[in-house]
Amino acid sequence: MKIAIAGTGYVGLVTGVCLAEVGHENVVCLDVDKQKVDLMKDGVSPIYEEHLEELMKKNYEKGRIDYTTNYKDAYKDADIIMIAVGTPERSDGSANLDYIKKVAKQIASSVTKDTLVVIKSTVPIGTNDAIEKFIRENLKNKVKIELASNPEFLSQGTAVMDTLNASRIVIGVESEWAKNILEKVYKPFNQPIVVTNRNSAEMIKYASNDFLALKISFMNDIANLCEIVGANIEDVAKGMSYDERIGSKFLKAGIGYGGSCFPKDTKALHWLASHNGYELKTVKAAIEVNESQKLRLVRKAANLVESFDGMKVAVLGLTFKPETDDLREAPSIPNIQYLLERGAEVVAYDPVGIENAKKIFKDSITYTTSIDEAIKDADICFIMTEWKQILNYDISNYKSKMKRPLVFDGRNCYTLDTMKDSGIEYYSIGR
């Protein structure tokens, strides 16, 4: 069985490599960038993801996976074509399906045999129906084409392990033919398979992401109230976590969620509901709380310092979460912009996100891969990402190296007592 995958981002590349890892012997990943393709053939991943490069090298050497820019060769004799391209948000919050439509047009002109087309990208409900109709109307050859929905549930930073050890595999199909093919594809993973129709599978993805986003925003909202009434959000979260109906995950307060999924998917589902004459009040609230939360810490600092003008400000962590180089919708971005607009001299630390940060801030800030260098002679320090390097850092250095040991922690990396005992002026979230 030949499996072609359009797109080599977090979803497409990880999916392709993991399919090869479980034993599929004819997987080809397609990208328009030749330089990127050449690097992948050499075992170099275009994204930072643990374990990915070693599996790329292993399965490429075994001949199970290949990379190409030639969509005609990739698609023409494929049994399955998986679409894993981006669906970025438009200015109105709706999902941009241009990349999916481009792939669909290429498929229609290239396939020479009966093919199952699988959309792995996060797409609005009804997209599979529309893309199936489009491909069938534009087919060059007389072949059978059917669409299936197969959303991913991986997290950046743990994408490989999330794929190989998924809690469930969701497939949305409209025929036994499509169901049987996908069950055969995923049988080697030995994971629970949830079979629905296509619209339900599309909704499962949005509903799952938006529920988690809502959970984060709820905890951040409660954290803000904790500060006002003198409660500790970590104690509150611990007490809540013992209730199996709530669970322990996504209860950590901070300065909001970011990344490629939660911000985009909450806005897309809210837009879809509005477009159909319905208001998702809970999702709307999650979006509003998150946007406000991102700047909560820097605004708190603004009330405690006379001015940021001329201040050396250390920012620790740039990516939206640890173990990834992704800065999409990262809270660090509006915070750094806020500081720059007020005249601050920003020195930023991140172990892997600097190159992507340079695409955003260029030379307006100073970059370093050393926490020591970032905080040296700094007037104030903001923690934006809970990298293990920050969690395990010798906190005595904040007092010895900073001009003033003033730390604002957006991820609650340290205990209040430890920072107080070390003589550090310390502010966090919900404590």
pLDDT of residue 39: 97
End-to-end CA distance of the chain: 55
pLDDT of residue 92: 92
Average of per-residue pLDDT across 293-310: 96
Q: Where does CATH 3.40.50.720 sit in the chain?
A: 3-196, 296-427
Predicted confidence (pLDDT) per residue in 304-346, tens digit: 999 999 999 999 999 999 999 999 999 999 999 999 999 999 9
Average of per-residue pLDDT across 167-196: 98
Q: What is the CATH number of domain 204-293?
A: 1.10.1040.10
Inter-residue contact 156 to 321 (CB < 8 Å): yes
Of all residues in the chain, the percent with pLDDT exceeding 90 is: 100
Return d(Cα 148, Cα 31) in angstroms, integer. 21
Predicted confidence (pLDDT) per residue in 4-19, tens digit: 999 999 999 999 999 9
pLDDT of residue 135: 98
pLDDT of residue 95: 93
Inter-residue contact 296 to 429 (CB < 8 Å): yes
Q: Is 29 a catalytic residue?
A: no
Q: Where does CATH 1.10.1040.10 sit in the chain?
A: 204-293
Predicted confidence (pLDDT) per residue in 246-256, tens digit: 999 999 999 99
Q: Give the active site residue among 18, 226, 261, 413.
A: 261
- Please report which confidence band the pLDDT of residue 292 belongs to, taking 50, 70 and 90 as the band edges: very high
Q: Whole-number mean pLDDT of the chain?
A: 97
- Label the pairing between strands 425-427 and 312-316: unpaired
pLDDT of residue 188: 97
Q: Which CATH superfamily is domain 296-427 in?
A: NAD(P)-binding Rossmann-like Domain (3.40.50.720)
- Please report which confidence band the pLDDT of residue 80 belongs to, taking 50, 70 and 90 as the band edges: very high
Inter-residue contact 311 to 249 (CB < 8 Å): no
Virtual torsion, Cα 291, 296, 302, 304, nearest 10 deg: 170
- Please report which confidence band the pLDDT of residue 297 belongs to, taking 50, 70 and 90 as the band edges: very high
Predicted confidence (pLDDT) per residue in 337-359, tens digit: 999 999 999 999 999 999 999 99
Position 181, amino acid: I
Average of per-residue pLDDT across 373-394: 98
Predicted confidence (pLDDT) per residue in 186-202, tens digit: 999 999 999 999 999 99
Inter-residue contact 3 to 185 (CB < 8 Å): yes
Inter-residue contact 143 to 113 (CB < 8 Å): yes
Predicted confidence (pLDDT) per residue in 235-248, tens digit: 999 999 999 999 99
pLDDT of residue 53: 97
Report helix, strand or coil for 127.
Answer: helix
Of all residues in the chain, the percent with pLDDT exceeding 70 is: 100
Among residues 125, 87, 281, the alpha carbon closest in space to that of 203 is found at 125
Given 3.40.50.720, 2.40.50.100, 3.40.50.2020, 3.40.47.10, which CATH number is that of 3-196?
3.40.50.720
Return d(Cα 179, Cα 20) in angstroms, integer. 20
